[in-house]
Structure 1
């Protein structure tokens, strides 16, 4: 779903924006990318709410995968894995938004990646996404947790 609905479209638009020399077209691409990012963010935020309500899980609490494993609650562990993926996608969307706006304020991305890490610390994907932020010049002190 992520690749089909958001990632592929955003990457195609970003590539077109970079290759097109016409300023009017660049602005059109930029606005379209930002619109897709906003729609994706709203969709994924709503999906988190549905997960919380359906499975009676508070993703803002200090719950983590390790706590769930200790309690042998299978459905909650699946919810946490799904929520982790959603937080990673939200972090990516926030990062794309900052890149399109030519900003270097990746605080929202960082927050989403750290939340994803907290839900399942044994998964390395949040670390990888934080490393991407480091490549964009975010200081290592900012990334540390």
Structure 2
């Protein structure tokens, strides 16, 4: 004879699987976001290091100092070209590198907000799981929590 499992137990077992799946999905999402954040932080550090090195290197554009023997149109043209190159490089190194770093920081902040949302969802799943362990009398509350978890997913 096959033993019948009460309907509430079947529901509880199904909810255990649903909560476990959601929790796993949320945790996987968190790990993915942490990886992206880590890579972006590394990129930002590398850009900052490149910026610092470039600021030192572009000073070399103005060397050697033109002496008194450098006169005339060729000297003036050369000096203007060199000054123009210096200004362009300085703009790139200061402004564009700063823009890149700001965009990376914005993306990091966005990903950290997404991660916080998923962490809240994991906490909600954990709370639902704790309610499940208390038994059938908490079934209605668990179903409500699972309904809330569906909102996190969809």
TM-score between both structures, scaled by the size of structure 2: 0.39
TM-score between both structures, scaled by the size of structure 1: 0.41
- Please identify the structure whose Cα radius of gyration is greater: 2
Greater RCO, CA 8 A, separation 6+:
2
Higher helix share: 2
